Structure 1
Amino acid sequence: MEKRFPVPPFTLATALEKVQLAEDAWNSRDPQRVSLVYTPDTEWRNRDQFINGREEVVAFLTGKWAKELDYKLKKELWSFTENKIAVKFEYEWHDAAGNWFRSYGNELWDFNADGLMQRRFAAINDVPINSRDRKFRDAGDELVLAC
């Protein structure tokens, strides 16, 4: 069986590490890489969609990042128990027309003994923003402010 460290039971340090690893994986925007942190039969609720298994995760994320361009995410640990983690997050992205959004939400994660996520339940809301109001910028992004 594959393992994905850190594994439960979580401590504050390992829960924080698990959240950072998830943030890093999602910011890669690589659906295949992201899918490997989930069990082969993972169950998701993402907004109004129900996703089952790694293949559906890859298909979902491929479509997501084709729509949500220049996606940049920040996750924060909210709470944890032995094998569960709750996070709050926000991310920014723009559509093909150049309209920017900030998406806010919460996720509840359940892990198996090998550290793979069995269940992910996400509630997410999108808010239109002006590009100058972005929080998450890459080093190459230019910010032009009106004087």
Structure 2
Amino acid sequence: MTRPPLPPFTEESAIQKVRAAEDAWNSRDPARVALAYTPDSRWRNRAEFPRGRTEIEAFLTRKWARELDYRLIKELWTFAGNRIAVRFAYEYHDDSGQWFRAYGNENWQFDADGLMEQRFASINEHPITEADCRLRWPLGRRPDEHPGLSALGF
């Protein structure tokens, strides 16, 4: 199975890869997201270290069960060869109604088929009010006309 665009990345293909990842994560479909990773993919996400698609899918299922109304924007930071670095922000609320905004950076490494072999994420978050939410669109894919991170000043 291949997941174009394939490395080595150009600026255009790296941007396409980042948007494809954003779209998949905004689907909040753990099985769909997990298919973008190699069967033995390695992650670091906060204090969790999922390995392989099965653990990734379980991690995402837990994540989206507690991070409600999740909306994410990713933006290319840099790229070289088979690696891409992104920055991101996402907003969600918990089951008590408390809203949060998380910011972070991810480093990605891909195999020759365009599947992600490694994902290392560093994430910080803080509580916000619902009125402070800036990532507003119907659940699912971010509309093309919605501002990205730079335009939002994040």
Q: TM-score range by the shorter chain?
A: over 0.9
Task: Give per-residue Cα distances to partners, 1:37-90, cap 9 Å, x unaligned.
Answer: 000000000011111000000000000000000000000000000100000000
2:34 is aligned to 35
Please list every run of at least 4 consecutive aligned residues from structure 1 whose deviation after the TM superposition is greater than 6 angstroms: none
Query: Which stretch shifts more, 74-83 or 131-140?
Result: 131-140
2:152 is aligned to none
The percentage of aligned residue pairs carrying the same residue is 60
1:65 is aligned to 64
| Aligned positions, number | 139
Which ranges in structure 1 are unaligned for 5 or more consecutive residues?
141-147
Alpha-carbon distance in 2 for matches of 1:135, 1:69: 15
1:15 is aligned to 14
1:97 is aligned to 96
1:134 is aligned to 133
1:55 is aligned to 54
Q: Structure 2 counterpart of 1:57, which letter?
A: I
Using the size of structure 2 for normalisation, the TM-score is: 0.89
Alpha-carbon distance in 1 for matches of 2:15, 2:55: 27
- Deviation of the 1:137 alpha carbon: 1.1
Task: Give per-residue Cα distances to partners, 1:7-63, cap 9 Å, x unaligned.
Answer: 001000000000000000000000000000000000000011111000000000000
Task: Give per-residue Cα distances to partners, 1:117-146, cap 9 Å, x unaligned.
Answer: 000000001110010010011259xxxxxx
Task: Note the aligned Cα RMSD (angstroms).
Answer: 0.9
Which ranges in structure 2 are unaligned for 5 or more consecutive residues?
140-154
The secondary structure found in structure 2 opposite 1:50 is: coil
- Determine which structure has more spread, i.e. the larger CA radius of gyration: 1
Task: Give per-residue Cα distances to partners, 1:90-124, cap 9 Å, x unaligned.
Answer: 00000000000000000000000000000000000
